[in-house]
Amino acid sequence: MKFPGLRSALPLLLCVSALSVSTYAQTKQKSGAATPAPVSPAQTSAAPATTADATAFTGNEACAKCHAKIFASYSTTAMARASGPATQDFSPGEFQHPDSGIHYRVYLENRDAWLSFDRAANTNANNTDAASTNGAGTNSNNTNAGSTNTTSANVTNGSADNELHGKRKLLYFIGSGHRGKTFLFADDNFMFESPINFYSQKLPSGVWDMAPAYQHAREMPLDLPAASSCLSCHTSNAQVPIAGTENKYDTPLFAHAGITCERCHGAGAAHVAQMQTPSAGAATKNIAIVNPDKLSPARRDAVCMQCHLEGNAAIEQPGKHLYQFQPGGDLSDFVHYFVLTGDGKDSVRAVSQFEALAQSKCKRASGDAMTCTTCHDPHSSPAPAEKVAFYRGKCLACHGDAFAAKHHTEQQDCAHCHMPRVNTADVAHTQASDHRILRLPFMPLQTVGSAYDPANVPPSEPQLVRFPPTAKHDAPSADAPGDASAHVNSAQADPILNNSKHSDPTRSDVPRNSSSPEENARDLALAWGVLAGNSQFAYAQAEKILPEALAKFPEDPTVLAAQAYHEQRNKKLDLAREHYEHALRIDPLAIDAASNFAVLEANAGHFDRAIALWKSAFERAPGRSSLGLNLVRAQCLSGHTDQAQATVQRVLEFNPDLSAGRAMLKQLQSGEAKCVAH
């Protein structure tokens, strides 16, 4: 089924996309999610609470009244500067992208930050010279000045060529600027990432360039959804997606810019109220706040891990979301991480410090005694002139002065050799310190072992392994969340651990059976599904495990939709229809299940049903161009050409450089589109 003569239009069945498990799991807003107070995103604090609400947030300034020195030092750290209004510390610039032929420009106008994009008619992208300017001197008057559309300006598309003109108002930045910044804009309250980022590590003064994975894109990616997982780790008390959507948010987007004290210490309103109560005894004043150092090792590490562990797949648990995690809790109640072993790759990702540290000999020898704060002070950052001495002191705290006196005395910078800065595999123009702490620089992974493979035995084929391999039912501290000193380590009774040659019960870096077989089946099936888009091996693994997962989780809409997708691919259409319908009865707002089910219905000739499914899903995810184009085809095939034209215009509003969409619009407007079923 396609438009005759429209080469860019694919048969409907070919538009079925692999189920994006992580995105799918985040589309349904749960009633327990906290909603930020309606304050300015530039504001860094709210008024102190007067009631002991354990879930209410206060912002950093409430903490400053008692912790002024820590407040002052923390305000200079990268975490404190992790987000804010787009105009804050703004760096204007422009560049020509050779692969798409688009000229991008970012500038300030009337105290607002703007992104403009322009491509002349019939531009030959491959022959376009690349050039960029950055920093001061590029903030000239804008040719589109005077537009009254503050969120997104109209986009002009050439009717017979690839001409493109438009602009977007940038609202927020995400990122401390240590590596770079991503900027966000909104269209109809749907929040998107800018197609270009600022990369501050590119000398001499940073550079504007395409977003990661789009360095060579031939079409402008203006439809990159701002995920809640990004907001959760770069902002404080952020909004969660409106029910049934993946990137539509109430505004303001977040209540506090940057990472506030409460991201690591828990909601502070109750603690502030306690401290302001004269009758409260000293023994009770710390109960309502979390001190990560006094948590059990797994819960202590989870405070950092929530944002500094990426893995190859992150599987949210049924009915749970990462943004619901609070310090002092068990992170594994919300999300399970998996890493891929035996894939032959040896690379460093931009957000993988926790995983890399676990592979280090330092961590494997020290066990739970070593954590992120062993070397990093979360409340301050050493001045550039003090960094070498500061981190050398951290190394010598374990290795001792005697070792330092005979080990390369001419080189005082331990990290220069053992934690070199290397290019990240997932973000261009950036480098990260190698937290594997290698004995020899750039030593291959397989020669240093890892926390999840201490025996160093290469697997015969790629495997997904749970990370970190800690016991699931890690007991909380006696009064967690709060001030306590009792630690309970359930690994002492772990038969697998105690039968291992690494049987130290105080260590958390040794593999343990931390999940039940039922959980393993669900997690592994969905984790392999995350990787299936680029790997036939991963697809086969997911397909093999899914029936077991479905048998054990017959009411899980994510598992049902994943199983239906595989059945659809294998032409088991009756089973696929049954499982899609079941999934949508449980979660009627599931975008992936609805869009893939619509493909099945359209190919069966049930266009009314397909249109209803696609229309509802597209209204809640207008940035998904393939979904919108399928709706256009179905509307045209059903004789609703006016509706088809309106839908493709909506597609182009969010993705104006989509050549397939522009070709469809041209045919519909000219009357050349002849919609027939094949």
Q: What is the pLDDT of residues 94-137, one digit of tens each?
A: 999 999 999 999 999 999 999 999 999 877 655 444 444 554 33
Contact between residue 577 and residue 10 where contact means Cβ atoms under 8 Å apart: no
User: Number of C-alpha atoms within 13 angstroms, CB side, residue 307?
Assistant: 20
Is residue 618 over pLDDT 80?
yes
Comparing 55 with 99, the larger pLDDT belongs to 99
Residue 571 is given by DSSP the state: T
Residues 14-20 have a mean pLDDT of 34
Taking only the tens place, the pLDDT of each residue in 460-473 is 678 888 988 755 43
For 485-496, b where at least 16 C-beta lie within 10 A, e where not — what string?
eebebbbeebee
DSSP symbols for 295-332? S-HHHHHHHHHHHH---SEEEEPTT--GGG--TTS-GG
Q: What are the beta bridge partners of residue 651?
A: none
Contact between residue 259 and residue 236 where contact means Cβ atoms under 8 Å apart: yes
Residues 416-425 have a mean pLDDT of 81
Residue 356 pLDDT class (50, 70, 90 cuts): confident
Residues 206-225 have a mean pLDDT of 94
Helix (H), strand (E) at residue 23 = helix 21-24
Residue 38 pLDDT class (50, 70, 90 cuts): very low
The CATH number of the domain covering residues in 12-26+554-670: 1.25.40.10
Residue 461 is given by DSSP the state: S
Is residue 568 over pLDDT 90?
yes
Determine the pLDDT at residue 620.
Answer: 98
Share of the chain above pLDDT 70, in %: 72
Q: Of 5-9, 213-217, 596-600, 659-663, which range is least confident?
A: 5-9
Q: Could you give the 3-state DSSP secondary structure of residue 292?
A: helix
Residues 347-354 have a mean pLDDT of 62
Residue 179 pLDDT class (50, 70, 90 cuts): confident
Determine the pLDDT at residue 261.
Answer: 95
Determine the pLDDT at residue 134.
Answer: 53
End-to-end Cα separation, the chain, in angstroms: 5
User: Number of C-alpha atoms within 13 angstroms, CB side, residue 338?
Assistant: 23
Residues 393-403 have a mean pLDDT of 93
Is residue 298 over pLDDT 90?
yes
CA dihedral 600, 606, 609, 611 (to 10 degrees): 80
Is residue 511 over pLDDT 70?
no
Comparing 307 with 36, the larger pLDDT belongs to 307
CA distances from 191 to 101, 168, 176 (A): 25, 12, 20
Determine the pLDDT at residue 598.
Answer: 97
Residue 353 pLDDT class (50, 70, 90 cuts): confident
Tokens of 660: 């397939």
Q: Which burial class, exposed, middle or buried, applies to 209 when counting CB atoms under 10 A from its CB (0-12, 13-18, 19+)?
A: buried
Q: Could you give the 3-state DSSP secondary structure of residue 129?
A: coil
For 238-264, b where at least 16 C-beta lie within 10 A, e where not — what string?
bbbbbebbbbbbeebbbbbbbbbbbbb
Determine the pLDDT at residue 185.
Answer: 98
Q: Could you give the 3-state DSSP secondary structure of residue 563?
A: helix
What is the Cα–Cα distance from 559 to 552, expressed in whole angstroms? 10
Q: What are the beta bridge partners of residue 184?
A: 172, 193
Residue 672 pLDDT class (50, 70, 90 cuts): confident
Is residue 52 over pLDDT 70?
no
Determine the pLDDT at residue 382.
Answer: 94
Contact between residue 254 and residue 173 where contact means Cβ atoms under 8 Å apart: no
CA distances from 563 to 244, 314, 556 (A): 21, 19, 11
Is residue 501 over pLDDT 90?
no
Comparing 479 with 574, the larger pLDDT belongs to 574
Contact between residue 523 and residue 466 where contact means Cβ atoms under 8 Å apart: yes
Residues 158-173 have a mean pLDDT of 85
Residue with tokens 């032409």: 571
Is residue 428 over pLDDT 70?
no
Is residue 140 over pLDDT 50?
no
Determine the pLDDT at residue 56.
Answer: 84
Residues 201-209 have a mean pLDDT of 85
Cα 66–Cα 67–Cα 68 angle in degrees, nearest 5: 100
Q: What's the predicted TM-score (pTM) here?
A: 0.80
Is residue 190 over pLDDT 50?
yes
Any idea where the domains of the chain sit in the sequence? 12-26+554-670, 36-82+238-289, 86-234, 298-498
Is residue 454 over pLDDT 60?
no
Determine the pLDDT at residue 283.
Answer: 61
Cα 340–Cα 440–Cα 392 angle in degrees, nearest 5: 105
What is the Cα–Cα distance from 326 to 55, expressed in whole angstroms? 9
Taking only the tens place, the pLDDT of each residue in 254-278 is 999 999 999 999 998 888 888 888 7
Average pLDDT over the chain reads: 78
Peptide bond into 468 cis (omega under 30): yes
Is residue 36 over pLDDT 70?
no
What is the Cα–Cα distance from 351 to 68, expressed in whole angstroms? 30
CA dihedral 179, 107, 658, 641 (to 10 degrees): 140
Residues 503-527 have a mean pLDDT of 59
The length of the chain, given as a count of residues: 678
Contact between residue 328 and residue 480 where contact means Cβ atoms under 8 Å apart: yes
Helix (H), strand (E) at residue 354 = helix 353-359
